[in-house]
Chains A and B, each alone.
Chain A
Amino acid sequence: MITVENVLDALSGVRDPEIDEPLTDLGFVDRVHVDGRSVHVHLRLPTFFCAPNFAYLMVADAVKAVQALPEVGDVTVTLDDHFASDEINGATAVGGGFDAAFPGESVGELGELRDLFTRKAFTARQSRVCDALLRAGRTVEELAAAPLGALTGDPDVTRCIELREQLGIDASPGSPAFVLADGSALDAGGLTRFIRVARLVRLSLEGNAGLCRSLLATRYGIPDPEEAAAA
Chain B
Amino acid sequence: MYEKDGEQYYIVDAHIAFWDARPENRNRLGEGFIKCFYDYHRNLGPEEYLWPFEEKFVKYTEEDLMHDLFEVGYVDHAIFQPVYLGDFYKNGFNTPEMDAPLAEKHPGLFTLNGSFDPRLGKKGLAHLESLHEQYGIKGVKLYTAEWKGDSRGWKLDSPEAARCLEKCQELGITNIHVHKGPTVWPLDRDAFDVADVDGAATNFPELNFIVEHVGLPRLEDFCWIGTQEPNVYGGLAVAIPFIHTRPRYFAQIIGELLYWLNEDRILFGSDYAIWQPKWLVEQFVDFQIPEDMQSELGVLTTDIKKKILGLNAAALYDLEVPAELDVVSADAGTAAVGSEPLSPA
A residues in contact (CB < 8 Å) with B: 18, 46-53, 83, 98-99, 102, 104-110, 112-113, 116-117, 119-120, 122-123, 180-181, 190, 193-194, 196-201, 203-204, 207-208, 210-211, 214-215, 217-219, 226
Contacts and interface: CB of A to CB of B under 8 A. Distances in A.
Given A50-B182, A105-B152, A119-B345, A113 B190 contact: yes
Nearest to A84: B183
Given A120-B345, A207-B216, A48 B186 contact: no
Given A49-B183, A113-B189, A210-B249, A83 B36 contact: no
| Interface size class, chain B | 35 or more
Contacts of B224: 197
A-B pairs, top 8 by smallest CB distance, nearest first, are: A48-B32, A106-B188, A181-B345, A123-B345, A208-B217, A200-B220, A218-B43, A51-B182
Interface stretch (B12-20, B165-173, B272-280, B336-344): B336-344
A109 B187 CA distance: 9
Given A46-B39, A113-B189, 16 more contacts: A47-B36, A47-B39, A49-B33, A51-B191, A113-B188, A116-B190, A193-B342, A196-B341, A197-B341, A200-B344, A207-B253, A210-B249, A214-B44, A215-B43, A217-B43, A218-B39
A218 B220 contact: no
B183 A219 contact: no
Contacts, number: 126
Contacts of A214: 43-44, 245
B342 A49 contact: no
Interface of B: 29, 32-33, 35-36, 39-40, 42-44, 150, 152, 181-183, 185-192, 216-220, 223-224, 245-246, 249, 252-253, 256, 259-260, 338, 341-345
Interface centre among B152, B341, B345 (most CB of A within 10 A): B345
B185 A105 contact: yes
Contacts of B223: 200
A217 B224 CA distance: 32
A210 B245 CA distance: 11
Given A113-B190, A207-B249, A104 B35 contact: no
